[in-house]
Structure 1
């Protein structure tokens, strides 16, 4: 939050912070739990909840609060029929049917990769993925593609202070990760081999707009027992690149 910007509405920012907290905590939250999660004073959280309830975005049952379907209106513009998500969906479905594997489109949102479109074949990961899902960017194929497209200083700022291992394959050395991101930038694809979850391999490529700016990443996730890293590069990567080129052409100058 910026106190030096005269156009910055702190009350609006705080309300959005409270609303976003439900995405992490789930429904049935109290003022205390939301205050603890957001770091805002309880009185501020209580006033935000009162306003959100009065405007129909939050429901109240005693001391418990939950978001209401009205929040979906906030996503309507982003998910409109001319949005990147909508334009990507048929391309993802064609790619899924061609490869027989799940495909996803993601964008960078802070330190996370945010799934904005997905065509699923079967559940590979223990955690189900869907539009709106988030994963840490630094250890995902789409995240590494998007991080590699950033200037080094900006890229470094989006890496967590400590790289926590998710499996015994996770790369947690910052120097090695930096080297990998440089390779991704040079080779124009990223391959993750069971770093996020045992049994999961994924490969991703950038999606570029008409000015060659990276606006998203496209990936395919596979079962490590069924697909070697060599097969991913030889068979899946060319299909991914074709799909990314197709999406970039139809997306034009869509703002993600």
Structure 2
């Protein structure tokens, strides 16, 4: 028997389908009807209903009879992973110091597939319509941390990412062509930091820098977000980035050193 056949024999389709139902919920789909879940997962309504009701029984999903949403219990699914990582533990106190210095929210994230995942977060004020917490995911192409992480990929992995990602316009400013995104990633790689102006959400600017592993590879990204001030009185994008960039770079240096010492 070949290894491929043996591997498929081990595949538990019901588990895969149940996980697909959980993953169907995201920042843009916090609450969904049975029809919504069926459409997003590709499951029939009857199959989606069985999985949703099973998750309700297990406590991972709640329902009012029509709409379904995840409960906080799903956080336990990722707790074992996060608790085994040194990065969130080392970054959290340094993010706190950084937030006090610049008076803005700060975050650290890693790349997971085509998205960034927040692994540490200090919240000072809410700038986005969607709340951000550890575990929140966003498309990498439209975020400052995502572009830093993409800039750290080897060429073949970046090519694979660009070949499969769907570049959807999240705002009128979002880069939605492969050529434009590739050029921006190259610019980020050369200058060592990224700034995104209202591409993920209108009114939101963010600046990010890389965090390096002991081997010198980009292991994570660190960022801060700020309000995009409209009118003539507010700072320009360049001025806003320049005001926080040295603080971000210093915090990144400290986290990188801590990772090296821990290893």
> TM class, shorter-chain normalised?
0.7 to 0.9
Where does 1:104-143 land on structure 2 (aligned, <5 Å)? Answer: 104-143=107-146
- Determine if contact 1:81/1:87 at 8 Å carries over to the other structure: no
Residue 165 (structure 1) aligned with residue 169 (structure 2): yes
How much has 1:121 moved relative to structure 2? 2.4
> Residue 212 of structure 1 aligns with which residue?
216
1:54-75 Cα distance to aligned partner (Å, 9 max, x none): 5443456657655444323213
User: What aligned pairs does 1:98-247 form with structure 2 within 5 A after superposition?
Assistant: 98-159=101-162, 163-225=167-229, 226-247=234-255
Offset of 1:154 from its aligned partner?
2.4
Partner Cα separation in structure 2 for residue 35 and residue 249 of structure 1: 47
User: Please, which moves more after superposition, 19-28 or 130-139?
Assistant: 19-28
> Which residue does 1:93 correspond to in 2?
96
Deviation at 1:17, TM superposition (A): 0.9
Distance in 2 (alpha carbons) for counterparts of 1:172 and 1:65: 32
Call closer, same or farther: CA 1:45–1:191 in 2, change over 3 Å.
same
How far the C-alpha of 1:143 sits from its partner, in A, is 0.7
| Farther-moved stretch of structure 1 (243-252 vs 13-22) | 243-252
Report the alpha carbon displacement of residue 153 of structure 1 after superposing the two structures with TM. Answer: 3.5
For structure 2, the 5+ residue unaligned runs are none
What's the CA shift for 1:189? 0.9
What is the SS of the residue equivalent to 2:25? helix
- The alpha-carbon distance between structure 1 residues 52 and 172, as it changes in their structure 2 partners (threshold 3 A), is closer
Distance 2:178 2:218 in 1: 23
Secondary structure of residue in 2 paired with 1:77:
helix
**Which one has a larger percent helix, Structure 1 or Structure 2?**
2
Following TM superposition, by how much is the alpha carbon of 1:40 offset from its aligned partner in structure 2, in angstroms?
A: 2.0
| Whole-angstrom distance in 2 between the partners of 1:9 and 1:62 | 29
2:36 maps to which residue? 33
Contact 1:77 1:83 in 2 (8 A): no
**Equivalent residue of 1:78, what SS?**
helix
For the aligned residues, what is the CA RMSD?
Answer: 3.1
Judge conservation of contact 1:79–1:86 (CA < 8 Å) in 2: no
Question: Aligned partners of 1:97 and 1:169: how far apart in 2?
Answer: 30
What's the secondary structure of 2:199's corresponding residue? coil
3-state DSSP of counterpart to 2:81: coil
Q: Distance in 1 between matches of 2:121 and 2:104?
A: 11
